[in-house]
Amino acid sequence: MIDIPFDPNLVIGSVRISWHSLFAFVGMVVGGTLSIRLARYLVRDERIYPFAILVIVGGLLTARIAHVVDNWPTYAGDPARIFDLSRGGIATMGAPIGSSIAGYLGCRWLRLPMGFMFDITVIGIALGEAIGRIGDVINGEHHGTPCSLAWCVRYTSPSTLGQSTPVHPIGVYDGMLMLTIFLVLFWYWRRARGQPPESRIYWAYLLGLGAGRFVESFVRDDPVVLFGLQEAHVLGLVYAVAGALMLWVLSMRTTRPNRL
């Protein structure tokens, strides 16, 4: 068992900043910077900046909606809290929906190559989420089920967000999942860039994220929403199936012989 004694907030004078917020911001900057650098492979002008803003805003919006749905009993009695962002609260499994819709609209509006932009975007997102999970490890924000393994964690700071018994280190699991996805996607992109059909990296991201989070959610202590499954189970299954099907369809396009 590993004790984590850190205060979930970074205190600088009279300012308190949660480690979750700090690393989420760092991850967003690093991931966004990487995606922009990769975009320069094909897009050399400034259209990538409004596109990036649209993707970020769209992802945050549906991540907030997913969090509210997942914790509806908390918000039902006080709907005004839905719009109170000072207390935080997002569910990253909802982000791909909004970022994909915003990315589609952004590509149409800015006349950007859609498959290519989706591919380089998810590479940066995966890296950003891997970095962001460092703050989650410190905060103990994502609740795991009780655990007796050697790597289980116990949060001993009195300010920690509610976990005092040994639990599965969900932040570590998430971080390892997203780092693995990032490395695989980056390797895949370097091999497949410039070769049609585009968007294979995007669908591979959905497959990896969906399958990984579906499995991981069995050791998460989140609300059940449908048929005994958590919200992450349901969305993960949808993402994984969609990703697998589209990768199969795209593979048929690359192997189908030309007809005379």
The answer to whether residue 257 sits within a structural domain is no
Confidence grade of residue 86 (pLDDT, cut at 50, 70, 90): low
Confidence grade of residue 139 (pLDDT, cut at 50, 70, 90): confident
The answer to whether residue 204 sits within a structural domain is yes
Least confident among 30-44, 109-123, 148-162, 207-221? 148-162
The answer to whether residue 199 sits within a structural domain is yes
pLDDT at 87: 62
The answer to whether residue 115 sits within a structural domain is yes
Going from the C-alpha of 142 to that of each of 58, 151, 192, the distances in angstroms are 23, 16, 35
- For the cut 50, the answer to whether the pLDDT of residue 218 exceeds it is yes
The answer to whether residue 57 sits within a structural domain is yes
pLDDT at 259: 45
Please, what is the average pLDDT of the chain?
Answer: 87
Return the SS3 of 155. Answer: strand
pTM comes to 0.89
The answer to whether residue 31 sits within a structural domain is yes
Hey, what amino acid is at 177?
L
Strand partners, 154: 3
The answer to whether residue 118 sits within a structural domain is yes
Please state the φ and ψ torsions of residue 230, each to the nearest 5 degrees. Answer: -80, 165
Going from the C-alpha of 181 to that of each of 73, 257, 258, the distances in angstroms are 33, 31, 33
- For the cut 90, the answer to whether the pLDDT of residue 104 exceeds it is yes
Burial group, residue 27, by CB count within 10 angstroms (0-12, 13-18, 19+): buried
Number of domains in the chain: 1
Can you give the residue range of the structural domain that contains 52? Answer: 2-252
Whether the CB-CB separation of 232 and 63 falls below 8 Å is answered with no
pLDDT at 162: 63
The answer to whether residue 259 sits within a structural domain is no
Strand partners, 224: 230
How remote is the C-alpha of 28 from its chain's centroid? 11
